Homo-oligomer: A and B are copies of this chain.
Amino acid sequence: MGNVFGKYFTVTTFGESHGLAVGCVIDGCPPLIEISESDIQRELDRRRPGQSQISTFRNESDTCRILSGVYQGKTLGTPICIMVENKDQHPGDYDEIAKLWRPSHADFTYDAKYKIRDPRGGGRSSARETIGRVAAGAVAKKILKGVKITAWVESVNLLSMPAVQHTPTDEEINATPVRCPHLPTAEKMIELIKKARTMGDSVGGVIRCRMEGLPAGLGDPVFDRFEADLAKAMLSLPATKGFEIGSGFAGTRMFGSRHNDIFTLDENGNVTTKTNNAGGVLGGMTTSRPVDFRVAFKPTATIAKEQDTLSRDLKPVKVIGRGRHDPCVLPRAVPIVEAMAALVGVNALMSQRAITL
């Protein structure tokens, strides 16, 4: 249950961290979309481990293969299965982890729910599950012609970049491995992340994302609001604890007369708003202004410090994180946030097509 996302462009991800493979099947992809393994690989490479000194040392090439649904470089309208084999497995000794519950990990809740779990590398709860999401998102982006989705790291722990006046360029974002487009802040973030690793500790932060170029009217007014589907998409990512769109929590401290976005015409005579406190959505539907949201990521649960916990037979034990892990998940989460945003966007687009006779 719960491994399927999207009503129209329907993505099912599969795979455990140390099983044979991870990947996804996409059902509902429109036909005639040009897509290649290299299009997908480019996005996978952005989330790949082992990219820099601030990420995990697990070394996976994460080479994808399209098993079905694409013929002569174009989608057939049939299910697209994309598979990445797991290579750099350290089967090693998971006996310890199998017998206890690591703090703030899902070991305990897996045991509570299923009475069984794959202890190797977190099993299904590994960040490797997101490979299927990124692969599907790469296909979704191809469909969203004219739409630019840009995510970046806005804060790490207490370090927060200044408010942006424009959407950062890909170059600005990728200038450093931390994917914060404000260079002075980025450098401090890198220092902090390295320091956290040295201390055997971890840090969290906030990713911001903008979707530009969406037409007005996407999303539905009641339960399937564009922002509701975004919120679900983002909170479905590992380690996330919050979501806000537009003015978000800060907007709760404004008066209505200041918060309201005034409609006006832009230089081309198109409808726009003077401000975008709404974050690009009104009543659950897009306004054509940038959809602008933030996602909160908690500090990585795996730390190299010794912690108290319980064993499966309810005895107090000590545990110390030994696996390869990211001291800060945010830089690698940037393409994942974008992928999920793309999935939400494509589904809203197809939903709108369905009612347009």
- Is A109's CB within 8 Å of the partner chain B? yes
A36 smallest CB distance to B (angstroms):
14
A103–B263 CA distance with the chains assembled, in angstroms: 6
Interface size on A, residues (CB 8 A): 154
Q: What are 28 contact pairs spanning A and B, CB under 8 A?
A: A1-B8, A1-B351, A13-B79, A14-B80, A21-B81, A31-B355, A77-B355, A101-B263, A103-B262, A105-B283, A109-B286, A112-B217, A112-B288, A125-B221, A157-B254, A222-B236, A225-B236, A230-B235, A242-B243, A242-B244, A242-B249, A254-B298, A256-B299, A256-B301, A259-B298, A269-B314, A350-B354, A351-B354
- With beta carbons under 8 angstroms apart, the residue of B123, B242, B288 that contacts A76 is B123
Q: State which of A53-61, A164-172, A180-188, A305-313 sits at the interface with chain B.
A: A305-313
Which B residues touch A216, using CB under 8 A? 108-109, 112-113
A137–B224 CA distance with the chains assembled, in angstroms: 18
Knowing A25-B12, A248-B242, A286-B109, the reply to whether A231 touches B235 (Cβ < 8 A) is yes
Contact yes or no, B1 A67, CB < 8 A: no
- Is A163's CB within 8 Å of the partner chain B? no
Number of copies of this protein chain within its complex: 4
Which B residues touch A32, using CB under 8 A? 114-116
- With beta carbons under 8 angstroms apart, the residue of B3, B23, B81, B234 that contacts A27 is B3
- Is A342's CB within 8 Å of the partner chain B? no
A63–B103 CA distance with the chains assembled, in angstroms: 41
A75 smallest CB distance to B (angstroms):
8
Which B residues touch A22, using CB under 8 A? 68
Chain A 225-260 interface residues, beta-carbon cutoff 8 Å to B = 225, 227-236, 238, 240-249, 251-257, 259-260
- Among A221, A228, A286, the one with the most B-chain Cβ atoms within 10 Å of its Cβ is A221
A236–B220 CA distance with the chains assembled, in angstroms: 10
- Is A147's CB within 8 Å of the partner chain B? no
- Is A203's CB within 8 Å of the partner chain B? yes
- Is A19's CB within 8 Å of the partner chain B? yes
